[in-house]
Amino acid sequence: MPRSKEIQEQMRTKVIEIYQSGKGYKAISKALGLQRTTVRAIIHKWQKHGTVVNLPRSGRPTKITPRAQRQLIRETTKDPRTTSKELQASLASIKVSVHDSTIRKRLGKNGLHGRFPRRKPLLSKKNIKARLHFAKKHLNDCQDFWENILWTDKTKVELFGRCVSRYIWRKSNTAFQKKNIIPTVKYGGGSVMVWGCFAASGPGRLAVIDGTMNSTVYQKILKENVRPSVRQLKLKRSWVLQQDNDPKHTSKSTSEWLKKNKMKTLEWPSQSPDLNPIEMLWHDLKKAVHARKPSNKAELQQFCKDEWAKIPPERFNRLVASYRKRLFAVIAAKGGPTSY
């Protein structure tokens, strides 16, 4: 028997109005052209619930039992890398058969959503201890101390940029049309390595590194760029050089060179790029350079220098002004990874 059409809410309201005027089921049925059983059902619902609107239906009973739900949450909490297919097999062992999409929906209702994991440096117990010590030691340093630091680092800028996840709108069977693909080139199509520095007052020099970086090359970069940058940025005589613990930076020859040239360095915890605000400037630089679409390495080098000089001075100042937030984040994470 085909399912009858649902009675419109306006018609149900009219049934109640006539009923309230004193008419019976038969009269209402004849006046509105409805089945007497339909009229009775509408009136009974109104008497019970005080309304004629559609109420929430119970729907199909869930196939995931409370026990199965606890098992899902327990397994994903223990190992976030567990896939929905693996969870599906796990539920099958307790005789609960559901589709993997059902599992994802149930986890979502419990606040567990599928996300790409963030990439962070691997931290040993020694690294974590050093990071926590650094944050606590410098937490109460005055702002003048941070403003008098020359922050340094190096980064690689690829000609065609890094491969990142992107979304497009396309029709079926058009996946391999030219407009719907992202061209790739081996090894990024070429790249340049750059060394840069900055302080709260603005950008220092940006140097392109030719060939392989070693202690000798690094010392040459420091010799040609550090003191000119210090003078350009008008740092005080008590300025401090920040550098990470790359072997080229901490080698015996580099340590002796720094001592000979009277450059005081900031002690630095290993595996801590999140404590160096220059990382955010590298992100800005790469985004701006790739927006200009360089076609060769010469253009790439020039665009890097151009865009580094274009970064607003306020950007540098804000990064240093908010530095204590990074220290608070490290302490809150007990030396572990932070959101920076």
Rounded to whole angstroms, how far apart are CA atoms 41 and 23? 15
**For the chain, what percentages of helix, strand and coil (3-state, to nearest 5) are there?**
50, 10, 40
Write down the pLDDT at residue 163: 47
**Exposed/middle/buried for residue 198 (C-beta within 10 Å: 0-12, 13-18, 19+):** buried
Rounded to whole angstroms, how far apart are CA atoms 227 and 241? 10
**Phi and psi at residue 255, in whole multiples of 5°?**
-60, -40
Residue 195 contacts residue 152 (beta carbons within 8 Å): yes
Q: Does domain 9-49 correspond to CATH entry 1.10.10?
A: yes
Residue 90: both structure tokens together = 């796990």
2-16, 220-234, 256-270: least confident range: 2-16
**Residue pLDDT, tens place only, 8-65:** 899 999 999 999 999 999 999 999 999 999 999 999 999 999 998 988 877 788 889 9
pTM for the model stands at 0.74
Provide the 8-state DSSP code for 265.
B
Write down the pLDDT at residue 117: 86
260 pairs with which residues across the strands? Answer: none
At the second CATH level, the architecture of 125-332 is 2-Layer Sandwich (3.30)
| Section 97-119 average pLDDT | 91
In 3D space, the residue among 326, 332, 337 whose CA is nearest the CA of residue 141 turns out to be: 326
In 3D space, the residue among 318, 244, 307 whose CA is nearest the CA of residue 276 turns out to be: 244
